[in-house]
Amino acid sequence: MSKTSIPPVGQLLHAIHFAALKHSTQRRKDSAGTPYINHPIGVAHILWYEGDVQDIGALQAAVLHDTVEDTDTSFEELELEFGNEVRQIVAECTDDKTLPKAERKRLQVENAPKKSDKAKLVKMADKIYNLRDLQREPPADWTLDRVREYFLWAQKVTDGCRGVNGKLENILEDIYQSGTFVYNGKQYPCIAK
């Protein structure tokens, strides 16, 4: 069976399996050390269940969005396994790790409006997942200022992704306008008024 004749559910399962193998030894920064694979699967889940996104390329890219940035995966490998469209979406969502962190963050804000619609979808769902994680439990080594700065920075990134999915935009707006997070047992607004 050629890759183009695989039904969409099979294509998505292939992406999940590939990402699970690539991220198998990685953990999230929460106190429980949650398996990292929960994150990319969660990003695809947000797209499907909360954003009503049914595009198979966008869903595969959501599952694969951190493979090049955080594992030994190459863009060529992604294209071979999943095709050019998925490769391109992942490329748009991948930071250049050779650059300093501050420059990578600046470029995410600057480049967000220039991304394809499918990359914007993945970027918004990725930020929703990360922001919800921060709302539940910021990493132990993060200061209160770092948490606040992340919310402000994420808002700048996702503001550049507007116009492709009102449902995801509404979720983000709710987090920014009325969301809270807990830090050292005290509750704070995600974005200070």
Cross-strand partners of 182: 187
* Structure tokens given for 72: 């030994």
pLDDT tens-place string over residues 133-188: 999 999 989 999 999 999 999 999 999 999 999 999 999 999 999 999 999 999 99
* Structure tokens given for 123: 């970027």
Is 77 tagged catalytic?
A: no
Looking up residue 97, the CATH number of its domain turns out to be 1.10.3210.10
Residue 3 lies in a domain: no
Q: How many domains does the chain have?
A: 1
The separation between CA 153 and the C-alpha centre of its own chain, rounded to angstroms, equals: 14
pTM assigned to the model:
0.95
Candidates 30, 50, 55, 69; catalytic one: 69
The Cα–Cα gap between 17 and 115 comes to 27
* Structure tokens given for 83: 């095709």
Containing domain of residue 41, as a range? 8-189
Candidates 70, 77, 79, 81; catalytic one: 70
